[in-house]
Amino acid sequence: MLCKLSISNIKKSFKDYAIYFITLILGVCIFYIFNSMDSQTAMLTVTSRQNEMIELMIQLLSYVSVFVSLILGFLIIYASRFLIKKRNKEFGIYMTLGMSKRKISFVLLIETFIIGLISLVVGLLLGIILSQITSIFIANMFEADMTKFTFNFSKAATIKTIIYFGIIYFIVMIFNTIIVSKNKLINLLQASKKQEKIKLKNTIICVILFIISVLMLGTAYYLVTEKINELLKYEVSILLVPISLGVLGTAIFFYSVAGMILKILSKCHNLYSKNLNTFVFKQISSKINTMVISISIICIMLFITLCLLSSAFTIKNFFNESINKYAPVDFELIGYYSDETKSININEFIEDDNIIKNNTKDITIVTDYYDKNLNYGSSLGEYENEVRDRYPNVRYDSPVYIIGVSDYNKLAKIYNCDTIKLENDEYAIVSNYETDIYKEVINRDSIINIFGNRLKPYKKIIDGFILIGVNPTNLGFFVVNDNIIENDNKHSQILVGNYSTNDEKVIEDIENKIENYKPIFTITKDTKLEIKEASVGLSAIVTFIGLYLGIIFLISSSAILALKELSDCLDDKNKYRVLRQIGADEKDINKSLFKQTFIFFMLPLSLAIIHTIFGLKFCTFILSSLGVNSILDGSAITFAFLIAIYGIYFVITYMCSRNIIKERN
Amino acid sequence: MEKILSVKKVEKYYGSKSSLTKAINDISFEVEKGEFVAIMGASGSGKTTLLNMISTIDKVTSGHIFVDGDDITKLKGNKLNKFRRNKLGFIFQDFNLLDTLTGYENISLALSIQGISYKEQNKRISDIAEKLGIKAILNKYPYQMSGGEKQRIASARAIITNPSLILADEPTGALDSKSSRQLLNSFEYLNKELNSTILMVTHDAFTASYASRVIFIKDGKIFNEIHKGAESRKDFFDNIIEVVTLLGGDLNDAL
């Protein structure tokens, strides 16, 4: 009997449940997709290095899943509270008919169970279908070949999803029972008649608080952008200052913004008293005032999403582009001189093996040197003391290396960089790291001492590098004329070259030989393929975690806004009836509803976007150590994502609420 | 005299063929400009259905209703809204004020919808507020007002657009006797001084005694109709009670 009641309840209110259902299904679906990576990647032909990366990614995603399930748990509890509130009268009627609270809880329990079951099944099915498509995407990310398309299904992920969501639904059931048992019959029956108390706020206090919030946010923005260098002198925990300023500022902003703007608008008499505008503004302000905390959380979640996704996409794009630029040769071997090994012939690696010898070209060998009196500090010349004051945490005693100009030009040719010519009393700095320090050194024409020669700087910094890598992190190599160099101070011998074959088997063979080459001297080895695989793997991990969290945050924020808007709409049905009675046109009523929904969705997003503008500056600063200059590429894709998910929720919400307020004769 | 409202052979059926309920069964009457008409009847007699059809909230099954010469049973969509906007003012038992708006804004919204400028709105509202004695509560929100105050704000909203006809559905239903009397005095003022035409539905004989004419409805038909004429309100009240007694049991309960 009670089961029948539950089922008919669900059928009846299916429309009202739509947003709730969609959110649950999406939650389950995404949870499954990101937890079934193991089966999605199983069919990829990958190297062992890529495999390690994939395993790392799967592990990280499973940690993130715990966090995600927490967020989804809160969201679902929040959503079910809305739905219960809506049904107060129904429960009241059950109680007057003599149904005990325990039985009502039981009805709810069954409903939660059925909804949970349906959403779980549909979500899983959708997840399994979509994971077939995402696996193609993953193969693309790892630049791996998908040899054959096979249907993938992850039993482990399915079980995990069921367990996690089972727990969430179980907690929701407990919450529902508590809510029902705490309700009084009179409140239940009169819930719909209860008049809304408008939270009146003192306008002057609102204005003051608004100014304070703007100041707080401004300070936080200023700290993470203009003052970032000074800020990072201290411990990382100093970042808590701008973060807490930002969070608090956001909350105070939403606490005061409605009162503040309403005050201003009510002075613009013509706008305020035009058509239904009075109604629209008042509705929104009361809506915002009743959910300051939620709307602040939504704003911050949107902000995190935007920054996270932008950074993730930027990193991905950046790696793809920069590898070709900063690793222009296929392999690089560096042998280091030491007290034991005074002589190195790294060329023997090529010469001693016919396969290697016949399948490589452009072999270039250069040597770099050190001067024990020259370190990063002293290389700055007279500028050193100033820099030391500004950046006390840099290691100024780390050595800098010196290369002869003829050797440099040999490398420059193969790297497709410009060759240089130096005067006898000149030195040049080769660097591609984004910093103005060496620029300033050159501006000051500061004389430094290399191998006992007083040298003045070449007219500009040479944008280039000696060692291949994934990003421009060459702080500075010093180039001097060959005759200055003291041969006793050899640091290392560097060999670079390219493959002359396209045969993948041969290349793989040589790669293995490079990997296993163990001469008597210390050696480091890099190949373009290896760099590529590592960085592709890294960018894939960052992108997936960014996507996972980003989508969950987006869904949560949109769902909360949508549910609030819909439940308000149900409460406000009578208001729209009144509007019709005093003669408002249907078109104007819909317009007012659209404006309300739009502003309600846009407000947290707007502040989040402003946060993001400054947040991204901070992200760019952090990412600049990788060599990323612009985060704009990533932002474009992110906004596309945002508009898709947020937009869908917005449209559904508007459609549903229009349906709710429609009068049926 | 100019006819504001004429109801002609209106019928309203509910339900299907097998179980037909005649909520309104062939009712015809007319209201002239400046009249204050009360419609009385027991619960279920069809008085609210009748009012809903006049206010175009509900549709007639057959018959016609003319307001200012226009057949409103033929109106559709935005023409309906336009009709309500320009010709009708509503007052309800549960006030139906928008609780997010102040008293002033509740009244001004009706004018905003008509596209009346802010200046003109301001002028009209302070004018009506003076007359109805609601100046002090204009800046209050509904939850800060008493029932009587709310209903006077609702009356001001109904009258502010100078409608041809004011429709009141049990306007004193949720008020205590003192507030009821105050509100009815306001109605009298609107009717006598501002020459508003009021059609009021009530089951309360005291409320009805403020009207100039009372139409009694029983089981969807007009049962009787009495005019106040030159009588005092006390005598008119006694007359109403007489008819109510004639009407039978149900309505007595409501007294």
Lowest mean pLDDT among A82-91, A192-201, B208-217: A192-201
A36-50, A118-132, A354-368: which has the highest mean pLDDT?
A118-132
- Tell me how far apart the alpha carbons of residues A389 and A230 are, in angstroms, rounded to a whole number: 11
Average per-residue pLDDT in chain B?
85
Whether residue A98 lies within 8 A of chain B, CB to CB, comes out as no
Q: How far is CA B100 from CA A583, A584, B94, in A?
A: 19, 17, 16
Higher local confidence (pLDDT), A377 or A209? A209
3-state secondary structure (DSSP) of residue B225:
strand
Is the confidence at residue A81, as pLDDT, over 70? yes
Chain B residues close to A573, C-beta within 8 Å: none
Minimal C-alpha gap between B236 and chain A (Å) = 32
Chain A environment of B57 (Cβ under 8 Å): 581
Window 527-586 of A: residues touching B by CB (8 A cutoff) are 574-575, 577-586
B82:A283 CB<8 A: no
B185: distance to nearest CA of chain A, Å? 23
**% residues pLDDT > 70 (chain A):** 94
pLDDT score at B250: 52
* 3-state secondary structure at position A376: coil
**How many Å separate Cα B250 from the centre of its chain?**
22
**For residue B101, what is the nearest residue in chain A, using CA coordinates?**
A282
Instruction: Tell me the β-bridge partners of A145.
Output: A45
Q: What is the mean pLDDT of residues A595-614?
A: 92
pTM comes to: 0.79
Nearest to B230 by CA among B212, B208, B210: B212
The answer to whether A46 touches A19, Cβ cutoff 8 Å, is no
**In this structure, what DSSP letter does residue A354 have?**
H
Contact A587 B78 (CB under 8 A): yes
Position A194 scores a pLDDT of 58
Answer yes or no: do B99 and A585 touch at CB < 8 A.
no
Which numeric CATH code is attached to B3-96+163-254? Answer: 3.40.50.300
Averaged pLDDT for residues A561-577: 86
Q: Residue B96 is nearest to which of A200, A578, A583, comparing CB atoms?
A: A578
Q: Predicted confidence band at A605 (pLDDT cuts at 50, 70, 90)?
A: very high
- d(CA A119, CA A28) in angstroms, rounded, equals 8
Q: Which residue has the higher pLDDT, B19 or A214?
A: A214
pLDDT range class, residue A159, cuts 50, 70, 90: very high
What does the pLDDT look like over A324-351, one tens digit per residue? 788 888 888 888 888 877 788 888 888 8
Share of chain A above pLDDT 90, in %: 15
The ipTM of this complex is 0.83
Question: What residues have CB less than 8 Å from B81, skipping those under 6 apart?
Answer: A580, A583, A584, A585, A586
Mean pLDDT of A205-221: 91
pLDDT of residue B252: 47
- How much is the pLDDT for A321? 74
Residues 190-219 of A with CB under 8 A from B: 195-198, 200
Spatial distance between the Cα atoms of A160 and A152, rounded to a whole number of angstroms:
16
Which of B98, B108, B121 lies closest to A575 in CB terms?
B98
Contacts of A273 in chain B (CB under 8 A): 108, 111-112, 117-118, 121
**Average pLDDT value for residue range A257-280:** 83
In chain B, where the domains are located: 3-96+163-254
- Check if A591 contacts B (Cβ < 8 Å): no
Please indicate whether, in this complex, the C-beta atoms of A270 and B118 are within 8 angstroms of each other.
yes
Contact flag A273-B121 (C-beta cutoff 8 Å): yes
Which residues of chain A neighbour B77 with C-beta distances below 8 Å? Answer: 586
Nearest residue in A to B98, CA atom = A575
Task: Measure CB to CB from residue A276 to each of B55, B96, B113 and give the nearest one.
Answer: B113
Q: Is residue B150 predicted with pLDDT exceeding 50? A: yes
Q: Mean pLDDT throughout B68-97?
A: 84
**Residue A584 burial (CB count, 10 A):** 24
Which residue of chain A has the CA closest to B166? A582
- pLDDT tens-digit profile of A446-465? 888 888 888 888 888 888 88
B60 or A9: whose pLDDT is higher? B60
* A5-32 pLDDT tens trace: 777 777 777 766 778 888 889 999 999 9
Q: Helix or strand or coil: residue A466? A: coil
